[in-house]
Amino acid sequence: MKIRPTGVIPPMTTPFRKDGELDLTLVAPQVDWLIEAGSHGLAAGGSTGEGHTLGHEEYRDLIAATVEAARSRVPVIAGIIVDSTRDAIRRGGLVRDMDVAALQVTPVHYLFKPDDEAMVSHFRRMADETGMPIIIYNVVPWSYLSPALLTRIMAEVPLVVGVKQSAGDLKLFADLMMMAPDKLIYSAVDALMYPSYTLGAHGSIAAILSAAPHASVALWDAVKAGDHPRALELHKKLLTLWNAIVSDNLPACARHAQTLQGLPRSFSRAPMPEASPAQQAAIAKALDGLRVPGSKRVEAAE
């Protein structure tokens, strides 16, 4: 692996027009905004980016636009959310020749969970056929991988370099940190970034980072500096924002938070609904309480 991405790595929202088509002209403004906020890397095509809705050409074009806009300033991680080994390998192949630091890959998310041997084989084949570093995105509730299985996959497949650990169970995160101390373990426990960092997380890839990058970077910096009163203060404010955006339309709510901070308006892809008036009001109130140096809030355009 050429670079080991660490720190705050926001999973970008994907800009769609109102008709559901990609608007690649809006990728660069978001990339610049996140980097200017101090982000240490970027992830594109993940769940916050509605990557499961993207066709192959759209996926390729989105990652290419992200890499081009990043201009090697920070590493870019490409998300893959598909239901077969064949499709995962194909998408990895589409971005293999781009300046992508790693693939972020979910276990399959259909209802029929592969057994442990099939899961190991899934990631081994991806590694063998793409030759790219892989971060397992452990998020699918009915296909959730235990710390023991994650550690086994990383031990048996050297190109599986880390895990993005999602869901709210901080004990499973702590277990994984202890069982795989030499691997890259990222927190996607959005409500608990502060304790994740104190447990030694190598970084985070979570929707809250895209909704509030300035405060998220400030939290990371506070923990690294040992300023725990400041970190706790930021944690409480970020938790208020998380409570406002966590929902079945999370990507739409994260996008609304970005729009309130000056990014051009874009839309979610149907059938995901946009943020409701109640959600919009809660997001605006949480952002007002989260002002940190460099951040701003603007009134949403009608």
Per the structure block, which two tokens stand in for 33? 């905004």
User: Is pLDDT of 1 > 60?
Assistant: yes
Average pLDDT (136-156) is 96
Average pLDDT (95-119) is 95
Rg (CA), the chain: 18
Q: Could you tell me which of 102, 80, 101 has the C-alpha nearest to residue 91?
A: 80
Percent of the chain with pLDDT over 70: 98
Distances (CA, A) of 250 to 111, 160, 205, 273: 22, 28, 15, 10
Q: Which of 2, 18, 144, 164 is catalytic?
A: 164
As a whole number, the mean pLDDT across the chain is: 95
Cβ-contact 51, 81 below 8 angstroms: yes
Does 296 qualify as catalytic in the annotation? no
Q: Which of 2, 59, 113, 137 is catalytic?
A: 137
Tell me the per-residue pLDDT of 21-34, one tens digit each, with 9 for 90 and over. Answer: 999 999 999 999 99
Average pLDDT (181-209) is 97
Tell me the per-residue pLDDT of 209-255, one tens digit each, with 9 for 90 and over. Answer: 999 999 999 999 999 999 999 999 999 999 999 999 999 999 999 99
Q: Where are the domains of the chain?
A: 7-225
Q: Work out the pLDDT band at 302, boundaries 50, 70, 90.
A: very low
Average pLDDT (265-293) is 95
Q: What angle do CA 172, 186, 176 make, to 5 degrees?
A: 30
Q: Work out the pLDDT band at 173, boundaries 50, 70, 90.
A: very high
Average pLDDT (39-60) is 98
pLDDT at 301: 46
Buried b (16+ CB within 10 A) or exposed e, 184-207: bbbbbbbbbbbbbbebebbbbbbb
Cβ-contact 192, 164 below 8 angstroms: no
What is the chain's length?
Answer: 302
Cα gap 35→237, rounded to integer Å? 22
User: Is pLDDT of 19 > 80?
Assistant: yes
pLDDT at 299: 61
Does 113 qualify as catalytic in the annotation? no
Cβ-contact 165, 172 below 8 angstroms: yes
CATH H-level superfamily of 7-225: Aldolase class I (3.20.20.70)
Average pLDDT (83-106) is 97
Q: Which residues contact 257 (CB under 8 A, 6 or more apart)?
A: 211, 212, 241, 245, 283, 287
pLDDT at 300: 54
Which amino acid makes up residue 100?
A: V
